Amino acid sequence: MSTARFVHWRDGDVWLGYFEEFPDYLTQGESLEELENHLRDLYRDLTSGDIAGIRRVAELTIG
């Protein structure tokens, strides 16, 4: 089983979140559990290769 880091917060009655690796792609849920389920679906979509032009965050070693 793999893991993916995500950022989340509560805004009023909804939970919002995105993956650190894919900060442009936000999703939401009515509970933290629902948000996590939506994030799982989003991650599958983002990593499937079926969607063109997905922007990602990466690290580069310099020097």
Q: What is the pLDDT of residues 14-36, one digit of tens each?
A: 999 999 999 999 999 999 999 99
Per-residue pLDDT band at 1 (split at 50, 70, 90)? confident
Mean pLDDT, residues 30-53:
97
Report how far residue 52's alpha carbon sits from residue 63's, in angstroms, rounded to the nearest whole number. 32
| pLDDT for the residue 13 | 97
Mean pLDDT, residues 41-59:
95
Question: Which residues make Cβ contacts (< 8 Å) with residue 23, sequence separation at least 6?
Answer: 7, 57
Asked if 17 and 39 count as a contact pair (C-beta separation under 8 A), the reply is yes
| pLDDT for the residue 16 | 98
Indicate the burial class of 4 (C-beta count within 10 angstroms; 0-12, 13-18, 19 or more). Answer: middle
